[in-house]
Amino acid sequence: MKILLDEEKCVGAGQCVLAAGDVFDQRDSDGIAVLLDEHPGQERSGAVETAAQLCPAQAIRIEKG
Amino acid sequence: MTAPALQIARECPYAPPAQHVEMRENGGVSRVRLPSGKEAWAVSRLDLIREMLSDPRFSSDRDNPNYPALATVPPPPPSGGSRKLLIQLDPPDHAPARRAVISEFTIRRMAALKPRIQEIVDERIDAMLAGPRPADLVEALSLAVPSLVICELLGVPYTDHEFFQTRTAAILHRDTPPQERGATYAALRAYLTELVCGKVREPGDDVLSRQLAAGADTEDVVALALLLLVAGHETTANMISLGVLTLLERPERLAWLIADPARMPEAVEELLRYFTIVEYGNSRVATADVELGGVLIRAGDGVVSLSNTADHDPEVFPDADELKLDRGARNHLAFGFGPHQCLGQNLARAELDIVFTTLFRRMPTLRLAVPAGQVPFKSDATIYGIHRLPVTWDE
């Protein structure tokens, strides 16, 4: 799967880091989310889907495949 | 036909009013009359509240005369004609203003703060143990901990805590007369203006000084300080009191919970959902005609979100009226949704985790000093909570 993160939409709530801290992080400078792993393994799909669902700015999209 | 009056007080401290549940079961978008006599929409389903809070055609501006305030008499604009608070900003002004402060509240920053929160909690519990029994947990711990933490973050002297705690309570009380509410905002602004001007002359190691150093002007920093100070202590304080009461009333669940500290984060999340104390806080004004849940909402209409009711929807949270400490659901509305979702949510999570873990470990015989039925709940405030929580313990 491929993760698409829209930094422009991100509001820095940190929900994605709580859900999948090995896939998402927050930049120290401005708190905006960054991707640590653009192509996480299938075993992370549950955590990544949770992150996408919880993101208050709906800034995370997942491309399956 | 006039719309039914929106019921605000809960009949049961642990569940949404029956009227709200009925509205949720009847489509989730209902016409209601507010305490001021004005009509507005009430949205009571989680999916619809998320949709509304994500739609930029709904404005957060509490200065808008159509904003659906819950006060009996419409309150004066919180900005008082000065800079608007972060929570009232709409696009395109909101994103840059929020981005200027997010870095202070990241997961990493909050994790780094935990040892200091732990010290503060331990000091308050030391003071409780050395003090008289029974004690009021609200004063001794619930208000003290988040107030001390936000004071340190902002660089506000804690010695002034009575001043801002009583004024925050007045702002959040629904029946505070508008003149008094206006005067209360003005007093807090005057206090914070003096504080921020002091930081211009002599910067400290705090959020407000760093905002000034980054180029924010004094008025913007005062508006930010006002919001963070008011939002930063009363909300968490109420969650601490409600959480302690609820856990003390369920000794078996409490024993299970404290047997493994790793269970606490999920339990905190469930308590946040179960109480959803900012139950009406995510109100908006439509700036265009918008269809929501099959209902046409006209430009200028006010919309109140009934977040607590949405968070008790059994279709979203099975057995929603039950407290299940290991539920593991974080898709609740306790911190709101959309671009305004609570900036301090991870600070609140850290504070609640440390307070509950430490309190029940260090005071294992803690118990209510009055029958649970006599605990005074805040049915008169816009944020749910407890006025006083008398507790006692064995030496």
pLDDT the model gives residue B228: 93
pLDDT the model gives residue B232: 86
Which chain A residue is nearest to residue B54, measuring alpha carbons?
Answer: A57
Segment A16-31 mean pLDDT: 96
Q: Which residue range forms the structural domain that includes residue A17?
A: 2-63
Dihedral, B321, B323, B326, B329 alpha carbons, nearest 10 = 40
pLDDT in tens, B197-208: 999 999 999 999
pLDDT score of A33 more than 70: yes
Q: How many CA atoms lie within 13 A of B227 on its CB side?
A: 24
Segment A8-18 mean pLDDT: 97
Return the CATH number at B187: 1.10.630.10
Chain A CB contacts of B54 below 8 Å: 56-58
pLDDT the model gives residue B182: 86
| Rounded Cα distance, B220 and B106, in Å | 21
Chain A CB contacts of B264 below 8 Å: none
Which chain B residue is nearest to residue A33, measuring alpha carbons?
Answer: B106
- Is A18 in Cβ contact with B336 (below 8 Å)? no
Size of interface A-B (CB pairs under 8 A): 67
Domain-embedded: residue B75:
yes
pLDDT the model gives residue B185: 87
Domain-embedded: residue B2:
no
| Rounded Cα distance, B392 and B394, in Å | 7
- Is A11 in Cβ contact with B345 (below 8 Å)? no
| Rounded Cα distance, B190 and B184, in Å | 10
Nearest-CB residue to B341 (from A11, A17, A31): A11
Answer yes or no: are the C-beta atoms of B344 and B86 closer than 8 Å: no
Nearest-CB residue to B105 (from A15, A29, A31): A31
pLDDT the model gives residue B335: 97
Chain A CB contacts of B95 below 8 Å: 11
| Rounded Cα distance, B290 and B296, in Å | 6
Return the CATH number at A37: 3.30.70.20
Choose the mutation target among A17, A18, A32, A36 for the interface with B, i.e. most B CBs under 10 Å.
A18
Domain count, chain B: 1
Answer yes or no: are the C-beta atoms of B306 and B44 closer than 8 Å: yes
Q: Which residue range forms the structural domain that includes residue B216?
A: 18-392
Chain B CB contacts of A13 below 8 Å: 335, 341-343, 345
pLDDT score of A31 more than 80: yes
pLDDT in tens, B128-151: 999 999 999 999 999 999 999 999
Answer yes or no: are the C-beta atoms of B136 and B369 closer than 8 Å: no
| Rounded Cα distance, B245 and B375, in Å | 9
Rounded alpha-carbon distances, angstroms, from residue B141 to B11, B124, B221, B244, B302: 27, 6, 28, 11, 37
- Is A28 in Cβ contact with B339 (below 8 Å)? no
Nearest-CB residue to A11 (from B98, B103, B331): B98
The Cα of B57 is separated from the nearest Cα of chain A by a number of Å equal to: 15
- Is A28 in Cβ contact with B106 (below 8 Å)? yes
Q: Hunting for tokens 């992150």 — which residue is that? A: A51
> ipTM of the assembly?
0.96
Domain count, chain A: 1
The Cα of A10 is separated from the nearest Cα of chain B by a number of Å equal to: 8
Domain-embedded: residue B263:
yes
pLDDT score of A16 more than 80: yes
- Cα distance from N-terminal residue to C-terminal residue, chain A: 5
Nearest-CB residue to A57 (from B106, B339, B346): B339
Choose the mutation target among B269, B341, B345, B347 for the interface with A, i.e. most A CBs under 10 Å.
B341
Extended strands (E) in B44-137:
58-59, 135-136
- Tens-digit pLDDT string for chain B (395 aa): 689 999 988 888 889 999 999 999 999 999 999 988 999 999 999 999 999 999 999 999 998 999 998 876 666 777 666 788 999 999 999 999 999 999 999 999 999 999 999 999 999 999 999 999 999 999 999 999 999 999 999 999 999 999 998 988 888 888 888 888 888 888 999 999 999 999 999 999 999 999 999 999 999 999 999 999 988 888 999 999 999 999 999 999 999 999 999 999 999 999 999 999 998 889 999 999 999 999 999 999 999 999 999 999 999 999 999 999 999 999 999 999 999 999 999 999 999 999 999 999 999 999 999 999 999 999 877 789 999 999 999 98
Nearest-CB residue to B106 (from A12, A53, A54): A12
pLDDT the model gives residue B80: 65
